[in-house]
Chain A
Amino acid sequence: MPAIAGLQLRRALRTVAAVAGLLMGVPVLAVWVPDPWAWLALSLAVQGAWVCLAVLQLRGAERLER
């Protein structure tokens, strides 16, 4: 396995952990926030979080390959 693959894997696993935490955490967290606006805002905010994670992952992966 080339060394760069190990570095990329560590970078990828951090992103995967963040996705898993948000994906499972936000619907559970919403149980304690019984406000319709909060649910709607959270469901849309998660989309913004995916965009941020994607951009961070892209930058990190490209930096490792320079």
Chain B
Amino acid sequence: MSVAVLTGIAFVLVLGVMVGAARPRRSSGDFYVAARAVPPWWNGAAITSEFTSAAACLGTAGLIATRGSPMLWYPAGAAAGFVLILALVVAPLRRSGTYTLPDFAQWRLRSVKLRRFTTCFVLVIGLAFLVAQLHAAGVVVRLLTGLPPWLGWAAVAVAALGVSLAGGLGSVTSVQASQFWLKLAVFVGVGVACWLTVGVRPVERLRVAYGAVSTGLAGVGDPSLPGVLAVLVACALGTMGLPHVIVRVYTNRDGRGARRSIVATQFMLAAFCVVPPLYGLLGHMHVRDAAADEIVLMLPARMLPGALGEVLTGLLAAGAFAAFLATTGGVLVAVGGAVSACVSGPGVRSFRVAVLLVLLAALALTAATAPGVSVALVLLGFSLSAATFCPMLVLGIWWRRLTDVGVAAGFALGGGVTAALVGCEQAGVNMGALTSCPAPVAVPVSFAAMVVTSLVTPGRLPRGVGRMLIRMHVPEHLAGPPPCRSSPHDDRSS
């Protein structure tokens, strides 16, 4: 049986899991925040599934195989972000009762203009993640079946769109949580099967040293020590503000449940984090001549020629499709929810239209950009998130003097510095490792801009900021009834 046929079967298998897990929903609460009734362990599986995207499954392993041992630290940086979310953000954000990041911005700073500005950044970050997933799906389809990449984009786009339109975040959560276990079983199972055929040799062949500075989009794959540390900062702080991760916080019943979701995520992520090193080490030994995104999928056939290798490749294809669909669906509903609530207010019809438009934009951008940049696009999303939403959330939750003008200044400077550094690096202007990955420069700039601008605009301090802080920090069982605020009318946070 050929790999192409097995890939088709794998896709149908993943679709079957999706159809079995998806549940049609009708209310706005279901579409935007899964009716705030997702249990922590289920939410944790959904978050992990969404977070272990094509970049994590295929890209990081490919980087370890091609760029060597310094890339072993990348998964650690991404996972560290969840400890920061747990410590600084999760419970207060859930207790705010808002639906999305822009909703939080409007509620905390009392500014509709800031909500629109925030929505723009949500859209940009979301599109970076979507394009990365679609490109990776195209690579898989081309590599395993010989068909044109756009068929991969279309397959993933149609499937993710179907789940999103059927039930929004409620439906996507069920699908993602189911797919996490499929993905974990497939990637660990196939990796261990390949490992057992070669013993411990892959580790012994690993060269352990940091390399010379090299540039890639947003500093991805730079094997120098400063380059690695810069990427770790971007991953850890960027995770805190990713719209599709943050929206999960709102799906729990209360702050306590939201905290427990993040701890569950940390356990599951730790289990999944054996995957990139496992495939990276094997790829370093057996598939050194391929592009980084292709190494994982080529591994079984190289190591075990014949029917067994083909079957294992088909299983990996199922895991890869599960990764694409989980992340695409999650990002789609998070961005679609933010855009629809900003443009026309929350509602099922506007949500569906926004999801469709966001997906069409992602498809157009995928067609206009080159494949093979999945990890770089994801890292760009992390960098932008670290330089914009991370400061807004930390200061908005813990510092009462933050103003809307301060946040706007931080967004403009943090986002601007990120764009400028990435632009310079793409134009061939090399300013060193710390600037090739913009986060170590852009994040302090953004924090400083928000603090300084807020201090010089005390007149913009929102009224009732004391009540907001009490609402965010006092646990539900000690707090009184929630005050009126800017969130949608059918909010079920109380």
Instruction: Say yes or no: A2 contacts B474, CB within 8 Å.
Output: yes
State how many angstroms separate the Cβ of A48 from the closest Cβ of chain B.
7
Which of B75, B208, B398, B400 touches A35 (beta carbons < 8 Å)?
B208
A5-B398, A31-B225 are contacts. A50–B79 as well, Cβ < 8 Å? yes
Query: Quick one: given A12-B88, A37-B203, are A44 and B274 in contact (CB under 8 Å)?
Result: yes
Q: Give residues of chain A (26-66) contacting chain B, Cβ–Cβ below 8 Å.
A: 26-28, 30-31, 34-40, 43-44, 46-48, 50-51, 53-55, 57-58, 61-62, 65
List the B side residues contacting A38 at CB < 8 Å.
Answer: 208
B256-280: which residues lie under 8 A (CB-CB) from chain A?
256, 259-260, 262-263, 266-267, 269-270, 273-274, 277
For A13, the chain B residues whose CB sits under 8 A away are: 87
**Interchain CA distance A27-B236 in the complex, whole Å:** 14
Asked whether B225 lies within 8 Å of A50 as measured between CB atoms, the reply is no
Inter-chain contact A58/B86, CB cutoff 8 Å: yes
B203 lies within 8 A of A36 (CB): yes
B266 and A54 contact, CB distance less than 8 A = yes
Min Cβ gap B391→A in Å is: 14
Residues from 55 to 81 in B contacting A, C-beta threshold 8 Å: 69-70, 72-73, 75-77, 79-80
Whether the Cβ atoms of B259 and A62 lie closer than 8 Å is yes
Residues of B within 8 A of A54 (CB): 82-83, 86, 262-263, 266
The answer on a CB contact under 8 Å between A30 and B86 is no
Question: CA separation between A26 and B91, bound complex, in Å?
Answer: 29
A19 to B259, CA, bound (A): 17
Tell whether A53 pairs with B269 under 8 Å between CB atoms, given A5-B469, A31-B225: no
Q: How far is the CB of A57 from chain B (nearest CB, A)?
A: 5
Is B157 on the interface with A (CB-CB < 8 A)?
no
B477 to chain A, nearest CB (A): 8
| Bound complex: CA A23 to CA B274 (Å) | 18
B75 touches A47 (CB 8 A): yes
Q: Is B156 an interface residue (CB 8 A)?
A: no
Residues of A close to B105: CB separation below 8 A = none
In the bound complex, how far is the Cα of B477 from the Cα of A62, in angstroms?
12
Describe B's contact surface by its main secondary structure: helix
Cβ of B268 to closest chain A Cβ, rounded Å: 10
**Complex contact B269–A58 (CB within 8 A):** no
Task: Please report the C-alpha to C-alpha distance between residue A62 and residue B76 in the assembled complex, in whole angstroms.
Answer: 26
B274 to chain A minimum Cβ distance, whole angstroms, is 7
List the A side residues contacting B69 at CB < 8 Å: 36, 39
Q: Is the CB of A4 within 8 A of B473?
A: yes
Q: Which residues of B contact A9 (CB under 8 A)?
A: 398
Residues B72-117 near A (CB distance < 8 A)? 72-73, 75-77, 79-80, 82-84, 86-88, 91
Q: Find A47's partner among B76, B229, B466 (CB 8 Å cutoff).
A: B76
Contact of B474 among A4, A30, A37 (CB under 8 A): A4
| Bound-state Cα–Cα, A12 to B267, Å | 19
The listed residue (B206, B260, B266) touching A39 by CB distance below 8 A is B206
Give which listed residue, A5, A23, A39, A48, contacts B232 with CB less than 8 A.
A23
B204 close to A (CB within 8 Å) = yes
CB-based contact A47/B79 at 8 Å: yes
Known: A34-B208, A44-B273. Contact between A65 and B469, CB under 8 A? no
Could you list 9 further interchain pairs (A-B, Cβ under 8 angstroms) beyond the known A1-B473, A36-B208, A51-B270? A8-B473, A15-B87, A19-B83, A24-B229, A34-B209, A43-B277, A44-B273, A48-B270, A62-B259
Can you list 20 contacts pairing A with B, beta carbon distance less than 8 Å? Answer: A11-B87, A13-B87, A19-B80, A19-B83, A19-B84, A19-B236, A23-B76, A26-B76, A28-B229, A35-B208, A36-B207, A47-B79, A47-B270, A50-B76, A50-B79, A50-B266, A50-B270, A51-B270, A53-B83, A57-B87
Chain B residues with a Cβ under 8 A of chain A: 69-70, 72-73, 75-77, 79-80, 82-84, 86-88, 91, 203-210, 225, 228-229, 232-233, 236, 256, 259-260, 262-263, 266-267, 269-270, 273-274, 277, 281, 398, 400, 466, 469-470, 472-475, 478
* 10 closest residue pairs by CB, A with B: A12-B87, A5-B473, A36-B206, A47-B270, A43-B72, A15-B87, A54-B266, A65-B475, A46-B76, A47-B273
Q: Which residues of A contact B (CB under 8 A)?
A: 1-2, 4-5, 8-9, 11-13, 15-16, 19, 22-24, 26-28, 30-31, 34-40, 43-44, 46-48, 50-51, 53-55, 57-58, 61-62, 65
